[in-house]
Chains A and B, each alone.
Chain A
């Protein structure tokens, strides 16, 4: 039983090994057919094809599939296809290129806005923490924020909050100004796509 088990194991291993070798051979032949292998590998495969019948048979098999794929016919849509597309696009104009209306400064501005907002909130909350721990064993700061007892009027008078709101208002105004300016410029330069296509 022991011997049979070992024999089965060996046969299984051998088949597995052969399968892996077959797959590797196919992979190399496909690369050879596609011209995707290095000159050294190409020379090696050419030698195998000339000397080894198994390689030659597999090469012929794969080459026939490759040739068939190359000759594959494309499906054709209905004869009205082009007409349908042209009728459809007649109601549209080519949209201006995205890079023309997406200004990197606007994106940077939005980024800065969120950065300021996050920094402001961070500074504010850090200011609310009472660093009362005196012992080195108690490094966790104690929080004294109680939402129900929060004095909102006091919070809104906080210097940090005022600065934070001020910066955001300025950034908001800059963004609004840029947006209006772009809109105004677009109006002056005219709708090129409409004008051209008319």
Chain B
């Protein structure tokens, strides 16, 4: 459902019939999800915003290809992932790659950077975001899709081109690693959370 309460399929139908302005409803609905997902790949907010816009433009242009056999959000997240990966490949950004070794090194760098700012991490959400940012893009993405995108394991599998069981394992590992990061770098906040 969009903000106006219209189902996505109905809005898509309107756009396909030529009502370009209806697309704004979809942008409004999914912009935060997409932007958050993009930020998991590209840390720079300006770049992330540009890429998120690009995702919506691509989605608009190929809207006729959306067959409706999956949720619109699943389809949109697939475009997001592809766009982010091709951006990273093109720009050869040293932020995040799917290469584990490189990702590991970057995470270590990020961790050391975050240590200096630990004192500033007051709110639990800021803490959680910091901890997620320390994870690899794949781990962060699977958590985002599961918790924020309301995607099932099968839908996440479609987006990440993996089978549901692999996604299940990935999700488990991502949460495990998140827990480890939280306990390592935000021990005080974690204790508070557990005490509640």
Chain A residues near B (Cβ < 8 Å): 23, 26-27, 30, 34, 36, 60-62, 64-66, 68-78, 81-82, 84-86, 88-90, 92-100, 193, 195-198
Contact = CB atoms under 8 A, between A and B. Distances in A.
Interface of B: 15-18, 20-21, 23-24, 27-28, 31-33, 35-36, 39, 48-49, 52-53, 56-57, 60-65, 124-125, 128-129, 132, 143, 147-148, 153, 168, 171-172, 175-176, 178-179, 182, 193-194, 196
Contacts of A30: 171-172, 175
Given A95-B65, A197-B18, 15 more contacts: A23-B176, A36-B168, A65-B179, A68-B193, A69-B143, A74-B36, A75-B32, A82-B24, A85-B57, A86-B21, A89-B23, A90-B20, A97-B64, A193-B18, A196-B17
A57 to B, nearest CB: 9
B35 A77 contact: yes
Given A27-B172, A74-B148, A89-B60, A68 B128 contact: yes
Chain B residues touching A, majority SS? helix
Nearest to B143: A69
Chain A residues touching B, majority SS? helix
A90 to B, nearest CB: 7
A85 B147 contact: no
A175 B178 CA distance: 55
B49 A81 contact: yes
A8 to B, nearest CB: 26
Contacts of A193: 18
